[in-house]
Structure 1
Amino acid sequence: MDYKQVLEAYIVATNTHDFNQVEKVLAEDAIYWFTDKSCTTRNEIREYFENAWETIRDEVYRATDVQWISVDHQSAVCLYTFRWEGFYKGEFASGSGRATNVFMKEADGRWKLKHEHLSR
């Protein structure tokens, strides 16, 4: 799987609402910067995802306008607009924001998400 495919796999995994699927594409030492919190451990990242899925029911997450701004044999960085929709307190809601993702190629040749920064 190349770096573009791992981004696609990450989006698909996110939409399963099962963190066990998401963590398959995460680097062991992944770091997330969200608008309201930074998560530096796997447990913090899991809790953030699971809280988001609990808060926004049936959420669908998408990446649009993806731009790969730096790619070499060990790393790939992309920017995109994230879009979400789902049900918040029983009402349909949607939103969007900006994302930066950093992918690293591990020793075994697999690409993993090392860092994600989301902001409104």
Structure 2
Amino acid sequence: MGYEEALIAYIAATNTHDFQYVRKLLSEEAVYWFSDKSCRSIGEIQQYFENAWETIKDEVYRATDVEWLVAEENSATCIYTYEYEGYYDGKFVQGSGRATNVFVRDSLGEWKLIHEHLSSLR
């Protein structure tokens, strides 16, 4: 699996709402920057994901307008627009923002997400 497929797999894993699938695609050193929190451990990242899935029910997450800024032998960085939709307090909601993802190739040659930064479009 190349870095482009790793992004596709990551989005698909996110949409399972089961962190065990997301976890398989993360580097041990993963760092996430969300609008309201930074997560520097797998446990913190898992807690954030699970809280988001609990808050926005039946969420569907998408990456559109993906642009690969750097693609080298052992690292690749992309930016994209993220879109989500689901149900908050029983009401349909949707939104979007900006994302940056950095992937690295591990010692087994597998592409892992080491950094994600999400922000609003403002």
Question: Under TM normalisation by the shorter chain, which class is it?
Answer: over 0.9
Alpha-carbon separation, structure 1, partners of 2:72 and 2:20: 28
User: What RMSD in Å do the two structures reach over aligned CA positions?
Assistant: 0.3
Counterpart residue type for residue 83 of structure 2: R
Question: Residues of 2 paired with 1:28 and 1:86: CA distance?
Answer: 29
Count of paired positions: 120
- Aligned residue number for residue 37 of structure 1: 37
In structure 1, the gaps of 5 or more residues are none
2:24 alignment partner, SS class: helix
Residue 20 of structure 1 corresponds to 20
What is aligned with 2:97? 97
- Structure-1 separation of matches of 2:105 and 2:112: 6
Alignment gaps of 5+ in structure 2: none
Question: For 2:42 and 2:110, how far apart are their aligned partners in 1?
Answer: 19
1:9 equivalent in structure 2: 9
Q: Match of 2:48, SS?
A: helix
In structure 2, the residue matched to 1:46 is 46
Q: Distance in 2 between matches of 1:77 and 1:5?
A: 13
Whole-angstrom CA distance in 1 between matches of 2:106 and 2:20: 19
SS at match of 1:27: strand
- TM-score of the two chains, using structure 1 as the length reference: 0.99
Taking the aligned partners of 2:107 and 2:54, their CA distance within structure 1 comes to 35
Letter in 2 for 1:44: E
- How far 1:32 moved relative to its partner? 0.2
In the alignment, what sits opposite 2:109?
Answer: 109
d(CA) in 2 for partners of 1:59 and 1:109?
A: 31
| TM-score scaled by length of structure 2 | 0.98
Q: What SS does structure 1 have at the residue aligned with 2:58?
A: strand
Q: Once superposed, which parts of structure 1, at least 4 consecutive aligned residues long, lie more than 4 Å away?
A: none
Query: Does structure 1 residue 79 correspond to structure 2 residue 64?
Result: no
The aligned counterpart of 1:65 is: 65
Q: 1:49 & 1:80 partners in 2: Cα distance? A: 19
Deviation at 1:51, TM superposition (A): 0.2
SS at match of 1:20: helix
Tell me the distance in 2 between the aligned counterparts of 1:71 and 1:6.
13
